[in-house]
Amino acid sequence: MKMRLMAAVTVFCLAGMPGMGVPERTNVLFIVADDLNDWVGCLGGHPLVKTPHIDALAQRGVVFTNAHCQAPLCNPSRTSVLLGKRPETTGIYGLKPWCRDVSGLREAVSLPQYFSRNGYRTLATGKIFHGRFGMRKEDREFDVTGPGYDDGPYPLQRIAALPGRQNRGNDWGVVGGRDEERGDWKIASWAVELLRSAPQFPFFLSVGIRLPHVPLFATQQWFDLYPDDQSVLPLVKRGDRGDTPRSSWYLHWQLPEHRREFLEGAGQWQGQVRAYLACVSFLDEQVGRILQALRESGLEKNTIVVFWSDHGWHLGEKGITGKNTLWEESTRVPLVFAGPGVTGGLRNATPVELLDIYPTLLDLCGLPARGAELEGVSLRAMLQGGAPSQPRLARTTAGPGNQSVRSEGFRFIRYADGSEELYDLREDPHEWVNLAHRKELKSLIRGYRGQVSGTFAPPVRGSGGRVLEWDKGRPIWEGREIPAGAPIPGMKAR
């Protein structure tokens, strides 16, 4: 790995040496986490979480405290960020297909491709697109690629003892060995090695850390950061979904992730939450290693850093673990910018979208704007302490017809069957009380209803993996109709 990386760096250094006609450019360090919700110190999502390196990055830059993903699922979210288009435009709603397997998207210019076409060298390691997409030999998304998506070595036997549930990919617990053996450590090390070489060419370096995506494995030292007691558990309300429509369950009808009541019955909820926190801190350590290498190389002053996560994750809130919802735990994500052109030490509560990353980086780096080709907007003014040019809303889509609209104070959700939810987050930050049936709020609801996307592209050919569709008023989950009144999978009959 080291020889391959250094050979690539040598070639690019020669291409970018002073005096060879290449102007000095602002570099980009593009770091993405997987399934990281707002359990980050600078976002205050969990009182015990320890993320000193991400918090330090936020202190020297701008943290958007009301940032939201375009889709609460890996593939559509990452496709949206990297192509600059909404899921309802691309038609990608599930874990497959990859965008390059869709005829209308094969030639779409991705964010790294656009930088490459404008004189940058693009390098990537880890999970950037979904899974290993973009990192295979036949892919042409980056100039140089390092280690790809890697869970790291699995333990020989499942750690979490759950009756009847033996999905190794949804395991968690303490693993032996050294941190250096974990997949994310190797991914970060590749980026660290590159940065320590102090490349003399303008670069766009993408680093995709897999954690805290399941399986939630970490060595003992990361578990030791958190008490093994109920203090790690998130605040929940029993019976919270009594005022939510049945269609809210359709978005995550049958998933490998567990329902909270199953975990509680097995005595495993606390252990899973602690494992998630441990993995968040291990992720933070990898971010710290990368940022330290950037600093020590002397490149920090000329490199824009953006840190983000593809979507959030429930740890028992709303009765579930996992993603695939339109509530705060699933849509709210970290989004931090730091570096040249960014005013340090700012917190911004304006609703923003991950879709805005593409145009913002073009703006900060002085590259030609792509106008209407991108559906996000540049956040540059807010990164420099200014206000948005107009009121902002953040939209998240979970399959055709299902969408949430997030303002500064409210969340409105409309499902494909017409059912709705409304939450006043100023009074109800946990979204426990659905106000959609309040007659005195009709005018407010009508206004939010008008902000839902007017059209939704049908799922592209080959769609699959957690895709919900509707056919003549009937919900279809992954190609199979959900019968009226069917018991909710994984939940005891009420």
Give the catalytic positions in this structure: 74, 130
Q: How far from chain centre, in Å, is Cα 43? A: 15
The Cα–Cα gap between 81 and 270 comes to: 33
The secondary element (H helix, E strand) that includes residue 14 is helix 2-15
**How many residues are listed for the chain in this entry?**
494
Torsion of CA 203, 204, 208, 209, to 10 degrees: 50
Q: Give the contacts of 464 (CB within 8 A, at least 6 positions apart).
A: 94, 95, 96, 97, 478, 479
The Cα–Cα gap between 289 and 397 comes to: 34
Angle at 244 between CA 76 and CA 317, to 5 degrees: 65
Question: Would you put residue 179 in left (φ > 0), alpha (ψ -120 to 50) or beta?
Answer: alpha
Distances (CA, A) of 72 to 114, 459, 475: 26, 16, 19
The Cα–Cα gap between 33 and 53 comes to: 14
Q: Give the contacts of 450 (CB within 8 A, at least 6 positions apart).
A: none
The secondary element (H helix, E strand) that includes residue 408 is none
The Cα–Cα gap between 251 and 240 comes to: 17
| 312 and 335 Cβ atoms separated by less than 8 Å | no
Structure tokens at 38: 């707002």
